[in-house]
Amino acid sequence: MIIYFRTKKLQKTCNKASETIKKYGPKMARKIHQRLMELMAATCLEDISKVPPPRCHVLSGNRKGQLSVDLEHPYRLLFIPADEPIPVTEDGGLDWAMVKEIEIIDIVDTH
């Protein structure tokens, strides 16, 4: 998949190992880089497992429209589909097989 980042700062934090370690520590940095490699290696969002790990899932409430994958508990890597238009199924749900671009928006504790 093609990966974009919401901000240049987030991109630098995620892509530069020393920055990731400085902000999140070595264990979390390894997990962030692992998840990013899994996302980059996938052809589409459907290739990312919905069961642990990485447990890719759609969020709800004030995060409706966002998806996440697990990092070190309780942190999640949050992203949104970046395809234009966002691919949907006939019933209006996200067409996971057609999502080929995502935008990383944050790394947070969603709980």
- Domains of the chain: which residue ranges? 2-109
- Tell me if 16 sits within 8 A of 8, measured CB to CB: no
Query: What is the pLDDT at residue 4?
Result: 98
Instruction: Please compute the mean of the pLDDT values over residues 36-45 and round it to a whole number.
Output: 96
Q: What is the pLDDT of residues 55-111, one digit of tens each?
A: 999 999 999 999 999 999 999 999 999 999 999 999 999 999 999 999 999 999 987
Per-residue confidence band for 28, with pLDDT thresholds at 50, 70 and 90? very high
Structure tokens at 60: 């709800």
Q: Does the predicted model carry a pTM greater than 0.75?
A: yes
Query: What is the pLDDT at residue 52?
Result: 86
Q: Does domain 2-109 have CATH number 3.30.2310.20?
A: yes
- The answer for residues whose C-beta is within 8 angstroms of residue 100's C-beta and 6 or more apart is 1, 2, 43, 44, 45, 83
Instruction: Please compute the mean of the pLDDT values over residues 22-35 and round it to a whole number.
Output: 97
**Residue the block writes with tokens 């097989």:** 97
Sign of the dihedral defined by the CA atoms of residues 41, 53, 100, 11, in that order: negative
